Amino acid sequence: MTDRYCVFGNPIGHSKSPAIHTRFAQQTGEEIVYEARLAPIDGFAAAVRDFIALGGRGANVTVPFKEEAFRLCDRHTPRALQAGAVNTLIFAGDGITGDNTDGAGLVQDLNTNLGTVIAGRRVLLLGAGGAARGALGPLLAEKPALLVVANRTAAKAEALAEHFAADGPVDGCGFTALAGRHFDLVINATSASLGGEVLPLPAGCYAPGALAYDMMYGKGDTAFLAAARAAGVTRLADGLGMLVEQAAEAFFVWRGVRPVTQPVLEALRQP
Ligand code: ATR
């Protein structure tokens, strides 16, 4: 029987994950089917149980269920524990294992697809929600010179920085405290782009040659990338590469085979 996988979310209709994993399967010769499954807002656990009963072997989890998925798991990988959220589920006879491949996907996209060295660089991470938390451990593992977490609610950024203090040089603050500081890599992990809102970043926070990276993606520039472009930043990247790389990492976790991501990313970028 063909192994079944899926992505759970709400909404889920526009998910690119089925197309990505189907391409990975074709490329690697793995016999799997991968579908998008809409879970009711108050029915995530039941949706997971139903899928396991149908023979599901694993699943991805997207908005808004990553924290609930964490609580549902019987055990967690170290990186899922660090993130406090789960985007990859592995179903086995003895229970559900939760993993998180988001941070690894971000770092892989930065390193490999964008040729950006994080080691020794000044990194600014915007946001202090789940997306930021998932990125922090893997970013600090790359040994940046310093990592500043800035958030609309400064206290949340400060708490997050404190939580990760043992993992590297990390500080938390509000946006106004960024005045006069310069960064080589600025990563947007807020959901402000969703509503087309622009973050109040001080002029000059981008060092010459800096990369502006939005974990979000959409048609054309996100609000964050449009603002960075208007500020004179020429190196810009959206989160499509991260999406493909976190998927490749999940595929590897499930199948033990690492797909080549470049052609899949190129296909997704076709209009
Ligand atoms: P996610 O799981 O996507 O990270 P989240 O946990 O709800 O979602 O976190 C959303 C993040 O985006 C938070 O850092 C939030 O800032 P607050 O902590 O101050 O709420 C940030 N955010 C959302 N909308 C924003 C906006 N319009 N301007 C600035 N920050 C925003």
126 in Cβ contact with 151 (< 8 Å): yes
Q: What is the mean pLDDT of residues 95-116?
A: 98
Is 197 a pocket residue for ligand 1 (Cβ < 6 Å)?
A: yes
Is 84 touching ligand 1 by the criterion CB < 6 Å?
no
**268 falls in which pLDDT band (50, 70, 90)?**
very high
For ligand 1, is residue 128 a contact (CB within 6 Å)?
yes
Q: How far is the CA of 27 from the centre of ligand 1 (A)?
A: 37
**Same domain membership, residue 109 and residue 234:** yes
Coil, strand, or helix at residue 43?
coil
Indicate whether 142 and 230 sit together in one domain.
yes
Tell me, yes or no, whether 120 and 232 share the same domain.
Answer: yes
Ligand 1 pocket check: which of 106, 156, 191 to mutate, most ligand atoms within 8 Å of Cβ?
A: 191
Residue 192, ligand 1, Cβ within 6 A: yes
135 touches ligand 1 (CB under 6 Å): no
* CA 128 to ligand 1 centroid distance, Å: 7
pTM: 0.96
Same domain flag for 87 and 179:
no
- The mean pLDDT value of the chain amounts to 97
Query: 231 and 265, same structural domain?
Result: no
pLDDT score of 193 more than 90: no
Identify the three-state secondary structure at position 83: helix
* Backbone φ and ψ of 270, nearest 5°: -65, 135
Q: How far is CA 102 from CA 111, 128, 221, 270, in A?
A: 14, 15, 21, 23
- pLDDT of residue 1 exceeding 80, the answer is no
Boundaries of domain holding 250: 3-100+242-269
High-pLDDT (> 70) share of the chain, %: 100
* pLDDT per position as a tens digit, 22-33: 999 999 999 999
User: Are 113 and 178 in the same domain?
Assistant: yes
pLDDT of residue 194: 84
pLDDT above 80: residue 8: yes
CATH of the domain at 10: 3.40.50.10860
Number of domains in the chain: 2
* Residue 215 and residue 264 in one domain: no
Mean pLDDT over 138-143 rounds to 98
96 plus 134 within the same structural domain = no
Question: pLDDT tens for residues 141-174?
Answer: 999 999 999 999 999 999 999 999 999 999 999 9
Q: Which residues are catalytic?
A: 66
State whether 181 and 80 are in the same domain. Answer: no
Q: Does the pLDDT of residue 42 top 90, yes or no? A: yes
Q: Are residues 163 and 133 in the same domain?
A: yes
Does 155 share its domain with 249?
no
Arithmetic mean of pLDDT, 178-195: 95
Kindly give the number of the ligand 1 atom that is closest to the alpha carbon of 85.
2
pLDDT of residue 62: 96
Same domain, 120 and 212: yes
In the chain the beta strands, taken as DSSP E runs, fall at 3-9, 32-38, 56-61, 75-76, 88-92, 95-99, 122-126, 146-150, 170-173, 183-188, 206-214, 235-237
CATH number at residue 208: 3.40.50.720
